Amino acid sequence: MPMTDPELPIVSWHAHVYFDGAEQRARAAALREMIARRFAVQLGRWHEVLVGPHTRPMYQVAFDVAVFARFVPWLALHRDGLDVLVHPNTLAPRADHVQHALWLGQRLAVKPETLPERISAEQEDPVRVNTQPDLGAGQAQQP
Ligand code: ZN
């Protein structure tokens, strides 16, 4: 599959914030609170048990394409040593988690065999914003 496949528009993005042990979990919780107060995103459940392609406990942050330019640079500065997988959601989940992935911190193992190669547009979960930001993100303004 070519990397510039015009059939694969980016629908949304995910950031998966990984943690290992109680100390990192506490940092992940603090980061989650900071995200919630600054960005209009969908904060996903905590996954203490490994799920899908992930090889560490984590939670997911889903966000719209328009949020990327403010959120990802902010995350790069504020991830507090945590490893974060940032991936686009095209309709090719397996490639999104491997070839299309960006990593903040260390690149961790993922299990691409757990993911379908292609899904239909109807199978792609829309971002449902569940945060109510009350702080700005540095100089960036919230919409
Ligand atoms: Zn994801």
Distance 113 CA to ligand 1 centre (A): 14
User: Cα–Cα distance between 62 and 46 in angstroms, integer?
Assistant: 13
> Residues 6 or more apart from 18 whose CB is under 8 A from it?
24, 28, 54, 56, 57, 58, 82, 83, 84, 85, 108
pTM given for the model: 0.89
- Mean pLDDT for the chain? 91
Q: Say yes or no to pLDDT of 106 above 60.
A: yes
Q: Say yes or no to pLDDT of 2 above 50.
A: no
Q: Say yes or no to pLDDT of 24 above 80.
A: yes
Distance 61 CA to ligand 1 centre (A): 8
Residue range 35-60: average pLDDT?
A: 93
Contact 117, 94 (CB under 8 A): yes
Contact 61, 35 (CB under 8 A): yes
Distance 62 CA to ligand 1 centre (A): 8
Contact 17, 58 (CB under 8 A): yes
Domains along the chain? 12-123 (3.30.70.1240)
